[in-house]
Amino acid sequence: MARGDVRRAYGAVALVAALALITGCGSGVADTASVRSPAGSSARSPESAEPEPEQTIERDKEPVLERFPEFGDITSVEWVTKDFGRPSRMPGPTDFRLSGVAQLADADAERLRKEHDWVPAEEAPATLAGISSRVPEGVAWEVSEGFTSQVTGGAFEATFFLDPETGVMVFDAVNPAVAHS
């Protein structure tokens, strides 16, 4: 075998080895299921896309009030959650997103309007797909940096949109912690 042929053979072997490492030892499918998009939801490539399981709409007030006691009394709430990444049997913390629509009691809606500076929102609320149909349309939503800061304490990401006319609060949070009294 000529010296040039040996070099080409070694080059070909190196190329095959590199491709095997890059593609997951020949599986040919990159694992993109747990890559987060900027919005915080799981991004999936079209090739590996699996249908999203339908999200169950919950109406229990307690889990929402445990995380957002600043809402005060809520007369009704609808919310959904979504775990990030793939289901696992491994114990440990799981990142999750919580989105919902709450009807605040009139007195608490008024209290929040007075305690915080609310300004017109630049965009409509973004929520998980399972709750988006419950978000009222055509509303002049307002947001408050002070309220968001008070609720999150800088410990998690969240957005809160208030309809000052009706007292509806739309919330969307990643890993909201249970508040300690």
CB distance 59 to 78 below 8 Å? yes
Asked if 135 and 125 touch (Cβ cutoff 8 Å), the reply is yes
CA pair distance 104, 110, nearest whole angstrom: 9
Of 164, 173, 95, 72, residue with least CA distance to 131: 173
Token pair belonging to 83: 């775990």
70-83 residue pLDDT tens: 999 999 999 999 98
Looking at residue 94, its pLDDT comes to 80
The predicted pLDDT at position 74 comes to: 98
Per-domain boundaries in the chain: 3-48, 61-174
pLDDT of residue 52: 52
Each residue's pLDDT tens digit in the chain (181 positions)? 555 554 454 444 444 444 333 334 443 333 323 222 224 433 333 333 344 556 899 999 999 999 999 999 999 999 999 988 766 666 666 889 999 999 999 999 999 999 999 999 999 999 999 999 999 999 999 999 999 999 999 999 999 999 999 999 999 999 999 987 6
The total of other beta-carbon atoms located within 10 Å of residue 95's CB is 14
What pairing do the DSSP bridges indicate for beta strands 142-143 and 119-120? antiparallel
